[in-house]
Amino acid sequence: MDGYVRDLFTTGLILQRLDYDVYIANSAEDALRIIEAATPSLIITELALPQMSGLELLVRVKHDPRTRALPVIIYSSLEDPDRKELCRVSGCTAFLKKPADPAALYGTIQTATESMPRRYMRLRTLLPVHVGGTPPAGGMSTEYVSELSENGIFVRTLNPRAVNAVLPVTIMIHSIPVKTKAAVVYSVPMSPGLFREPGMGMKFEDISATDRELLRNVIKGQIMKDVPAK
């Protein structure tokens, strides 16, 4: 939640592009009503809010047995060290200064909400890819990268390769071929009633520093696209 409309829009947009479901509120009072109706996994709040402050909201959340375990991240433009320390002793999970790099924001959320936090941002996308290896009977179908990080990919395919296979991979990004080797970590077969796209998760085993930097910049560029500069 945020009392600044532009920051509320910007943070919500970034979080949605990081594949989070987001409820937004511009006051602590509205936030408490949302929390009462549907308990979230995480609260992110600015300190400067129209009526009840973000610090007061934090104290309310941490003193309510129903919400005490909820992680609260303070995401603020204020730079008062005393206020920051007060937030810490009041139970905030982390304190981030606006505007935070999206990778730092993502890492902080992952640490706060996941038992095994991801290190790298993931981008939902649709990029042509060629994966080596012989697919199962039925022949090669068109394959795409539907999730991209600088550490690996999810390939949408009807013909996932064998788990643990290390295969050559070529991803086309803005007409630039990114060539690497990747290991199949898991596969998702086509199955009736399965509410997930079929394919395979792959982890990069051999990728150049230049190509990793390209992926990092593409991911950040897409996440920050049309986000107003401070």
* pLDDT surpasses 70 at 230: no
Q: Please give the structure tokens belonging to residue 44.
A: 């992110």
For the domain 123-223, what is the CATH code? 2.40.10.220
Question: For 5-15, how does the pLDDT look when each residue is reduced to its tens digit (9 = 90+)?
Answer: 888 899 999 99
Q: How confident is the model at residue 134 (pLDDT cuts 50, 70, 90)?
A: low
Mean pLDDT, rounded, for 171-176: 91
Closest CA to 69 of 131, 33, 133, 112: 112
Q: What is the pLDDT of residue 47?
A: 92
Question: For 29-73, how does the pLDDT look when each residue is reduced to its tens digit (9 = 90+)?
Answer: 999 999 999 889 999 999 988 889 999 999 999 999 999 999 999
Question: In the chain, what are the domain boundaries?
Answer: 5-113, 123-223
Listed in sequence order, the residues at least 6 apart from 128 whose beta carbon sits closer than 8 Å to its beta carbon are 143, 144, 145, 171, 172
Closest CA to 199 of 119, 151, 150, 127: 127
Q: What is the pLDDT of residue 49?
A: 87
Q: Note the CATH architecture for domain 5-113.
A: 3-Layer(aba) Sandwich (3.40)
Tell me if 169 sits within 8 A of 183, measured CB to CB: no
Tell me if 34 sits within 8 A of 43, measured CB to CB: no
pTM: 0.85
